[in-house]
Amino acid sequence: MDIVGKKSQGLSVTCLEKDKVVILSFNDRSLNFYVTDALKESLKEMINGKIDEGYQYFLLNMENVKIIDSCGVGLVIAANNLTASRDAKLYLTNIKPFIIKIFDIMRISKHLNLYESEDEALQAIQKNGQD
C-alpha cells in the first residue's frame, strides 16, 4: 500500500544584498511528514549556498504555516543548527500562536530567535550588525 501525501510547495526566497539577509518563506500550509523530506534538502542547499555567497542572516517566514508536526519542528531545528554551525543566524517570524505553544512545550523557544514580523526581525538584524 502506498502512502499518498501532498508534495511540498517549496520555499520562496528573497535576498537583501545590502544587509546580507536571506528571507525564506515556506509555501506549505502544513510542515509535516509528507513535505519535510523534500524541504529539508532544498533548505539545506539554499542555506549553505547563500552562506558561501556571504549571507549571514536567514529570516524564516512561517506566515503560511498553519500546522506543524514533529518532522516540521525537526526541520526548523535542523535549519537553526545548520546556520549556527556556519556562524550565521536564523530568525523566525510570523509564527502562529499554536506553533509557538508547541515550541514552548518542547522547550526549544529559548534556542530560537522568534519575532512577530519580518520588520521586527530585520530591525534586530540591523541592530546586531551595528554591535
Domain residue spans in the chain? 15-130
Chain position carrying cell 545590502: 18
Give the C-alpha separation, 109 to 130, whole Å.
25
CB atoms under 10 Å from CB of 94, counted, come to: 19
3 confidence band (pLDDT: 50, 70, 90): very low
Higher pLDDT pick, 37 / 55: 55
- pLDDT, mean over the chain: 91
Percent of the chain with pLDDT over 90: 76
- The CATH architecture assigned to 15-130 reads 2-Layer Sandwich (3.30)
Q: Which helix (H) or strand (E) holds 53?
A: none
